Amino acid sequence: MFRPFQSFLSRMLTASLAALAISETGLAQVFDFSAEDGAALNTAIEAGAYGTVTSIVILHEGEIAHEGYFNGAEASTLHNTRSVTKTLTAYAVGAAIADGHLSLETRIASLFEDYADEIATDPRKSEITVEDLLTMSSILECDDWNPMSRGNEERMYIVEDWTGFFWSLPVRGYPSWATPPGEAAYGRAFSYCTAGVQLLGETVERAVGEDFISWSEERIFSPLGIDRLDWPLNGNGDPHMGGGLGLESRALARLGEVQRLGGETILPRSWTEASITPRAQIPNTPGFEYGYLWWLMPYEVAGERYWAAAMNGNGGNRVMVLADFGLTVVFTNTDYNTQGMHENAARFFAEQVVARIGE
């Protein structure tokens, strides 16, 4: 048995505080998931209650409470969990900072002298920091949730040079009806930007002096016993560090456990704590905030409010960490770009995880 160490945004967030709340009082901080519960959950999944689910792994205090595979998947399946990859790129950043290669204040343009012409189009580009990209709040006009955005990820995928794509973007403007950074929560204007995460991964690569795949596998994945990964590559043969990494469900659980346990194995506790400290507020989504490429989603138990830290990807794919209750939960799904994909994930967590805390 294993012992581990979103234009769809508004729909994803319909599972609000109310949907994730349980109102009973005096609940003990325990989690109970019986064999009967597991059988009932499997039946519901097979009936399509939560969409096209391919796997579920629920860990409580590092022990498997439930594990299941569906719709042709098995334990060895490498799941394409889309933007869950972004949080794993943040792990690489944290490791590079811990090893002394980078800092949050590093101005990334200093590592991209070969793109000096693109950077020189606006001197403000040279001021973009590692922390700006970790919080989806750089000054560049890049918004995956706006199909008109110059930086929309779909525009990046059809060009060969993704690095040049990022540095060629214009600076974002703020008309009178928009909220500029100085007036936004935490002083940052959030804009979901895959191109920025891609550049962040390349920043790590240049700072450590090794290719990202080799270095991250040695520094992040191998110490956790993860040796099966499927990296998607762009037209230049570079890995996609903002989405699409294929991993087994148990590997995803191990990676979630890193955050729940406060690092310990591959990252310092100071980094894991900083990663889930709110750094930006996601627009038009009351209650949801953003850390260092971690989604911070609120829920309630016995009238008390808690934060779930989430790796979050298209299709409703999620790795949720409810550290207050010792829970790490993997939910994989192939309902990419479909209406209701994020609601399905949210309902699963509300009905099958949060509702069982205190039972």
pLDDT digits (tens, 9 = 90+) for 260-290: 999 878 999 999 999 999 999 998 887 899 9
Q: How confident is the model at residue 29 (pLDDT cuts 50, 70, 90)?
A: low
pTM of the model: 0.91
Task: Render 70-117 in DSSP notation, one character per residue.
Answer: -TT--TT--EE-TTHHHHHHHHHHHHHHHTTS--TT-BGGGG-GGGHH
pLDDT of 13 above 70: no
- CB-based burial of residue 274 (10 Å sphere; 0-12 exposed, 13-18 middle, 19+ buried)? middle
Q: What percent of the chain has pLDDT over 90?
A: 87
Query: Residue 140 pairs with which residues in a beta bridge?
Result: 171
CA-to-CA distance for 116 and 163, rounded, in angstroms? 12
Taking a C-beta distance cutoff of 8 angstroms, is the pair 239, 75 a contact? no
Each residue of 140-165: pLDDT tens digit?
Answer: 999 999 999 999 999 999 999 999 99
CB neighbours of residue 265 within 10 Å: 13
Each residue of 82-110: pLDDT tens digit?
Answer: 999 999 999 999 999 999 999 999 999 99
CA distances from 348 to 82, 109, 157, 167, 355 (A): 19, 42, 32, 39, 10
The confidence score (pLDDT) of residue 27 equals 34
CA distances from 132 to 11, 206, 217, 259 (A): 26, 18, 25, 21
CA-to-CA distance for 99 and 96, rounded, in angstroms? 5
Taking a C-beta distance cutoff of 8 angstroms, is the pair 101, 95 a contact? no
